[in-house]
């Protein structure tokens, strides 16, 4: 007969004053007899081990913190700190009161908690333990999942948010189901855990897109190998495969455009001057010479920061791309940030453009079209060169998706002086 893995025991962190060691030991023994695993700092932090990080780890890994609430506990700064850590981490806290207590002295964080009394009319130590066990078993599945996800999210964050530590498959689906549940009273889902689950979901979608693209390319290569034999039929198949891949790219572009938006012709949109009164004065000889705009001054540090931000528009992580898009859009809406405009043009020039993904290229063209201030940033000629080069490459057979093409066409119109051209492109 195959052996089944032992079920994880519910873990309790016991917070108590050293002066109340006897009653704390009795509570510990009683809970362990009922099948719980009890940890506390005196036994579970080794001599010489950094105290606070280990204490946080013990409270994080425990499903519930049980405070042995006495006058001694209230007077202990260490005990109050343990409560603060549990509160900060959104964990469940159950205060047990083994003896008479002036509740007005208790920390305000405990005011809304369920007090479990071991004394008073109809109460006893045994009844108190029974009430405590019932409370520990309430919403047990939720708090166990909270402990698990908090540990995983902390490891993920400590690793620099490594893709290797993301949730996948059934674990991700279980976490999403858990997030949809209502949290028990007086506990919460930490932003770190919510971010971890969201990043895992984004990563899963990116993985699926990459796998689909890989399959499409493999099939396409097979189709090309027999194109001479199948003639028009193979060409039709190739067209269908290319359409499917473009649909994936269009979905990605739509998500970016919907997230960052575009200006509704605000302060930096080009405008056509209103006509003034008829000019009755004699015309001056010679053509009028337009004034050259004064170039904006950008420090080396500002340009380096802008280059880094713009490069994130081509990051492999979808969440990073969207966040960078929002930051770039905000900077352009605020003041047509010249450093951002120069960084966009720099990335869109060859050979840098040849290293961009289709998503990154679209994102940068989209942001460049949404902005004004080209002349002040000194990039007007560079924009014209970028558009000219993309169109030349397209004429040589380099594929350009319909949304990217729309952005390029609108940039060309603006280069040609059409000031009424929409600042939105790609269908947005």
Query: Distances from the Cα of 155 to the Cαs of 10, 45, 163, in angstroms?
Result: 21, 20, 12
Residue 196 structure tokens:
């971890």
Residue 357 structure tokens:
């993904």
Distance CA 322, CA 256 (A): 6
What pLDDT score was predicted for residue 224? Answer: 62
Contacts with 303 (C-beta within 8 Å, 6 or more apart), sequence order: 339, 342, 343
What pLDDT score was predicted for residue 129? Answer: 94
Instruction: Give the number of other Cβ atoms within 10 Å of residue 334's Cβ.
Output: 10
Cβ 379 vs Cβ 337: under 8 Å? no
Cβ 340 vs Cβ 328: under 8 Å? yes
Element (H, E) at 14: strand 11-15
Beta-strand (E) ranges in 171-297?
Answer: none
Selection from 392, 395, 423, 427 nearest residue 410 by Cα: 423
DSSP state of 426: T
DSSP state of 120: S
Distance CA 190, CA 171 (A): 18
Per-residue pLDDT 10s for the chain (428 aa) are: 344 444 678 899 999 999 999 999 999 999 999 999 998 865 545 555 556 777 888 898 899 999 999 999 999 998 999 999 999 989 999 999 999 888 888 898 888 788 999 998 889 999 999 999 999 999 999 999 998 999 899 899 999 988 889 998 888 899 999 988 888 888 888 888 989 998 888 888 777 777 777 776 777 666 666 555 555 555 555 555 555 555 566 666 666 666 666 544 443 343 333 334 444 444 455 555 555 667 778 788 888 888 989 888 888 877 788 888 888 888 888 788 888 889 988 998 888 888 888 778 888 888 888 887 888 888 888 989 988 888 887 776 666 677 788 888 888 888 888 877 777 787 65
What pLDDT score was predicted for residue 272? Answer: 36
Cβ 183 vs Cβ 92: under 8 Å? no
Residues composing the chain: 428
Cβ 183 vs Cβ 153: under 8 Å? no
Distance CA 359, CA 146 (A): 35
Query: Three-state SS string across 362-402, please?
Result: HHHHHHHHCCCCHHHHCCHHHHHHHHHHHHHHHHCCCCCCH
Cβ 63 vs Cβ 14: under 8 Å? no
What pLDDT score was predicted for residue 64? Answer: 94
Distance CA 149, CA 155 (A): 10
Beta bridge partners of 64: 12, 92
DSSP state of 7: P
Selection from 78, 245, 212, 65 nearest residue 147 by Cα: 65
Instruction: Give me the residue label for tokens 């964050």.
Output: 157
Instruction: Give me the residue label for tokens 């409370």.
Output: 135
Beta bridge partners of 39: 13
Q: Count of alpha carbons within 13 Å of 260, Cβ hemisphere only?
A: 32
Task: Give DSSP secondary structure letters for 70-119.
Answer: SHHHHH-HHHHHHHHHHHHTT-EEEEEE-S---GGGS-GGGTTS--EESS
What would you report as the CA-atom Rg of the chain, rounded to the nearest whole angstrom? 32
């Amino acid at each position: 007969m195959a052996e089944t893995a032992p079920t994880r025991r519910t873990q309790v962190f016991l917070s108590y004053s050293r002066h109340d060691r006897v009653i704390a030991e009795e509570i510990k023994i009683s809970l362990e007899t009922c099948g719980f695993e009890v940890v506390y700092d005196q036994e579970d932090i080794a001599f010489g081990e950094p105290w606070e990080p280990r204490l946080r780890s013990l409270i994080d890994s425990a499903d519930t913190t049980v405070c042995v609430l006495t006058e001694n506990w209230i007077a202990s700064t260490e005990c109050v700190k343990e409560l603060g850590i549990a509160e900060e981490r959104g964990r469940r806290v159950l205060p047990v009161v083994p003896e008479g207590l002036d509740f007005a002295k208790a920390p305000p964080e405990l005011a809304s908690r369920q007090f479990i009394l071991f004394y008073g009319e109809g109460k006893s130590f045994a009844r108190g333990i029974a009430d405590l066990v019932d409370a520990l078993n309430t919403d047990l599945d939720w708090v166990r999942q909270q402990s698990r996800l908090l540990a995983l999210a902390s490891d993920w964050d400590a690793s620099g948010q490594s893709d290797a530590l993301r949730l996948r498959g059934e674990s991700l689906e279980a976490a999403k189901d858990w997030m949809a549940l209502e949290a028990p009273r007086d506990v919460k889902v930490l932003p770190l855990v919510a971010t971890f689950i969201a990043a895992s979901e984004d990563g899963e979608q990116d993985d699926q897109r990459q796998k689909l693209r890989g399959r499409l390319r493999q099939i396409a290569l097979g189709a090309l190998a027999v194109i001479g034999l199948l003639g028009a039929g193979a060409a039709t198949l190739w067209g269908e495969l290319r359409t499917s891949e473009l649909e994936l790219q269009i979905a990605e572009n739509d998500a970016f455009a919907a997230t960052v938006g575009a200006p509704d012709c605000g302060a930096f949109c080009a405008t056509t001057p209103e006509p003034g009164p008829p000019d009755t004065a004699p015309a001056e000889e010679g053509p009028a010479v337009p004034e050259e705009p004064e170039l904006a001054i950008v420090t080396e540090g500002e340009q380096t920061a802008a280059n880094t931000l713009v490069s994130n528009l081509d990051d492999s992580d979808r969440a990073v791309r969207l966040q960078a898009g929002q930051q770039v859009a905000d900077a352009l809406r605020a003041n047509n940030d010249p450093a951002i405009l120069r960084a966009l043009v720099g990335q869109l020039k060859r050979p840098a453009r040849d290293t961009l993904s289709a998503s990154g290229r679209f994102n940068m063209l989209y942001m460049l079209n949404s902005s004004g201030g080209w002349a002040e940033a000194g990039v007007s000629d560079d924009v014209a060169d970028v558009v000219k080069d993309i169109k030349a490459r397209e004429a040589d057979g380099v594929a350009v998706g319909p949304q990217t093409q729309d952005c390029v066409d609108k940039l060309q119109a603006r280069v040609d002086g059409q000031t009424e051209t929409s600042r939105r492109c790609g269908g947005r």
